[in-house]
Amino acid sequence: MSDAQSYLRATSADYSRWCGAMEVDRRLLTLNPEYAENRAQIENTAFAYEQLEHVTGRQSLVDIPVVVHVVHNTPEQNVSAAQIHSQIEVLNQDFRANNPDVNKVPGVWQELVADARLQFHLARTDPLGRPTDGITRTETSVTEWGTDDLVKFSLSGGHDAWPADTYLNIWVCRLRRGLLGYAQFPGGAASTDGVVVTPTAFGTTGTAAAPFDGGRTTVHEVGHWLNLRHIWGDDQEGCSGSDFVADTPNQAGPNLGSPDFPHVTCGNGPNGDMFMNYMDYTDDAAMFMFTKGQSARMDATLDNARLTLTRQAVAV
């Protein structure tokens, strides 16, 4: 068995779908009053967008420049350019509802499938205006990372963010056992703004390992970065939580693996949980849609909290 095969076998067995975005959110709400104030304002704006029926979506296409910071301790973690490009392709398919598996959405929800009119490209110029392929590579002595944002700073062995008002920063690094990725909701510090994904759940080739080899972890985390919450509302498998989106059914908790339709919880029959939504915890092959209500929340973010980034998108 090759070193790469050994790496894939060891790491793919370590992970179930677990996102650390809410862990980060709780930490920032506790420690940073400005973040709490920003989040309240952002949520009020998102609520207004949905109430004003922005669910038809914006007409213009937003093209977001991306920089991928590869922070690696081993050669296998130093993911290839091909793996990075495969992830960008998945983002472009899924946020435009052009993914080949979108036809698997149950008929009762087909009319809710949203084209978020978002596309992504690797940055062509760096913060100093020099040509770039949109990828940075940093060798580190750190063997794994948590949700404490240390990977986002060169002083702690990671890589500093590029300006968050111009780029979507994605860090690819080995995360601790059980953690696939995390994101910072809009409203936080620019120095830590962005998305973090482990190499075995990034893209569709190279070190990407089943059942998270469809690029959907990054889609899920970019959803958080655009202010989408977990579809079940993070209420410890109760029925009182909410993702603040009207067209996603209430559900008791996260769905894992590849459930059979319908899966009924919280009295949400006959159709049950929308477990094929990107903001659930199912396997990559079992998630394939955003809703129009979720798209409205993303519009609210792009028109307000992340407006400077969308203005810069054409230039970079």
Q: Which of 23, 89, 144, 221 is catalytic?
A: 221
Residue 34: active-site member: no
DSSP per-residue letters across the chain: --HHHHHHHHHHTT--S-B-HHHHHHHHHHH-HHHHHHHHHHHHHHHHHHHTTGGG--SSPEEEEEEEEEEESSGGGS--HHHHHHHHHHHHHHTTT--TTGGGS-GGGGGGB----EEEEE-SB-TTS-B--SEEEEE-S---B-SSSGGG-GGGTS-PPPPTTT-EEEEE--BPTT--EEEPPTTS-GGG-SEEE-GGGSSSSTT--TTS-SSHHHHHHHHHHTTPPPTT-SSTT-SS---S-TTS---SS---S-PPSPB--TT-TTTB--TTBTTS---GGG--B-BHHHHHHHHHHHHTTTHHHHHHTTT-
DSSP string across 189-217: -GGG-SEEE-GGGSSSSTT--TTS-SSHH
Q: Which residue reads 């009295």 in tokens?
A: 267
What residues act catalytically?
221
